[in-house]
Chains A and B, each alone.
Chain A
Amino acid sequence: MRIGVMVCHCGNNIAATVDCEAVAAAAREFPDVVFATDHMYACSDPGQGTIEKTIRELKLDGVVVASCSPRMHEVTFRRAVERAGLNRYMFEMANIREHVAWISLDRKRNTEKAIDLVRMAVEKLRYDRPLTAKSFEVQKRVLIIGAGVAGIQAALDCAEGGLDVVLVERKASIGGVMSKLDKTFPTIDCSVCVLGPKMVDVGQHPRITLHTLSEVEELSGYVGNFEVTIRKKTPYVDWVKCTGCGACLEKCPSRKVPDSHNEGISTTTAITIPFPQAIPKRAAIDPTVCLHFTKGTCGVCKKVCPADAIDYDLKDEVVTEKVGAVIAATGLDLFDHRKCGEYGGGRYPDVITSLQYERMLSASGPTNGHIQRPSDGAEPKTVVFISCVGSRDRSVDRPYCSNFCCMYTAKQAILTRDHIPDSRAYVFYMDIRATGKGYEEFVRRAQEEYEVQYIRGRVAQIYPLYPLAGPEGNQLVVRGADTLLGVQVEIKADLVVLAVGAESAHGAPALAEKLRISYDAYGFFLESHPKLRPVETNTVGVFLAGACQAPKDIPASVAQASAAAGKVLALLSKDKLESDPQIAQVQAMRCIGCGKCERTCPFGAIRMRELRDGAKRAEVVETVCQGCGICSVTCPVRAIQLAHFTDSQLLAEVNALCRTWTETTGS
Chain B
Amino acid sequence: MASESSASALSANEPSVNDSAANESSTNASADRMETLRAKIAAELPNVDFVLAYGRGFDPLHATPVTVRGEKDLDRLIFDPTCVQNLATSLYGLRGKRLGVVVKGCDSRSIVQLLQERLWERENLVIFGLPCEGVLDLAKLRATLDIASARAASFTGSPRDGLLRLTFNDDGGHDGERTREIETKGLLADKCLRCQHPNPLVFDHMIGPETLPQGAQDDYADLAALEKLSTQERFDFWKRQMGRCIRCYACRNACPLCVCKHVCLADSREPHWLSAEATLQEKWLFQVMHALHLAGRCTECGECQRSCPMGIPILLLKRMMNRELKELFNYQAGVSLEAIPPLHTFLMEEDRIKDRGLLW
Contact = CB atoms under 8 A, between A and B. Distances in A.
Interface of A: 587, 589-590, 592, 594-596, 599-600, 614, 634, 636-639, 641, 646-648, 651
Contacts of B268: 590, 638
A397 B118 CA distance: 52
Contacts of A637: 260, 263-265
Given A592-B259, A637-B265, A651 B118 contact: no
A500 B170 CA distance: 102
B263 A590 contact: yes
Contact of B259 (A594, A641, A651): A594
B272 to A, nearest CB: 5
B178 interface: no
B288 to A, nearest CB: 14
B263 A651 contact: no
A651 B260 contact: no
Interface string B255-275: 000011001110010111100
A594 B271 contact: no
B117 interface: yes
Contacts of B272: 647-648, 651
A378 to B, nearest CB: 53
Interface string B238-281: 00000000000000000000011001110010111100000000
10 contacts: A587-B270, A592-B259, A592-B263, A594-B259, A614-B96, A636-B259, A638-B265, A639-B263, A641-B271, A648-B271
B260 A647 contact: no
Contacts of A596: 117, 344
Contacts of A636: 259-260, 293
Contact of B270 (A594, A595, A634, A648): A648
When A and B form their complex, which 5 residue pairs have the shortest distance between CB atoms, in order from nearest? A647-B271, A637-B260, A590-B263, A648-B271, A592-B260
Contact of B118 (A587, A595, A614): A595
B119 interface: yes
Binding site of A, secondary structure by majority: helix, strand, loop or mixed?
A: loop
B271 A651 contact: yes
B344 A600 contact: yes
Contact of A634 (B265, B273, B344): B344
Contacts of A634: 343-344
A523 B87 CA distance: 57
Contacts of B96: 614
B268 to A, nearest CB: 8
B185 to A, nearest CB: 38
A513 B259 CA distance: 38
Interface in B259-309: 259-260, 263-265, 268, 270-273, 293
B265 A594 contact: no
Contacts of A647: 271-273
Given A596-B117, A651-B271, 8 more contacts: A595-B118, A599-B344, A634-B344, A636-B293, A637-B263, A637-B264, A637-B265, A638-B265
Interface of B: 96, 117-119, 259-260, 263-265, 268, 270-273, 293, 343-344
A638 B344 contact: no
Nearest to B92: A592
A641 B263 CA distance: 15
Quick one: which of A599, A636, A646 has the most chain B CB within 10 A?
A636
A190 to B, nearest CB: 47
Contacts of B259: 592, 594, 636
Contacts of A599: 344
A266 B343 CA distance: 55
B117 A589 contact: no
B296 to A, nearest CB: 11
B201 to A, nearest CB: 21
Contacts of B343: 634
Nearest to B260: A637
A638 B271 contact: yes
A595 B272 CA distance: 23
Nearest to A599: B344
A517 to B, nearest CB: 18
B271 A646 contact: yes
Given A636-B293, A638-B265, A651-B271, A594 B344 contact: no
Given A636-B293, A648-B271, A589 B263 contact: yes
Contacts of B270: 587, 648
Nearest to A635: B260
Contacts of B119: 592, 594
Most chain-A Cβ atoms within 10 A of its Cβ — which of B268, B271, B344? B271
B277 to A, nearest CB: 13
B13 to A, nearest CB: 51
Contacts of A600: 344
B117 to A, nearest CB: 6
B355 to A, nearest CB: 15
A594 B272 CA distance: 22
A589 B260 CA distance: 11
Nearest to B275: A655
A596 B113 CA distance: 13
B293 to A, nearest CB: 6
Contacts of B273: 638, 647, 651
A638 B263 CA distance: 10
B72 to A, nearest CB: 32
Nearest to A616: B118
Contacts of A641: 271
A594 B117 contact: yes
B275 to A, nearest CB: 10
A596 B265 CA distance: 17
Contacts of A648: 270-272
A586 to B, nearest CB: 12
Contacts of A614: 96
B295 to A, nearest CB: 11
Contacts of A594: 117-119, 259
Count chain B CB atoms within 10 A of each CB in A589, A614, A647 and give the residue with the most: A647
Nearest to B258: A636
A592 B259 CA distance: 8
Contacts of B260: 590, 592, 636-637
A639 B273 CA distance: 13
Contacts of A589: 263
A197 to B, nearest CB: 45
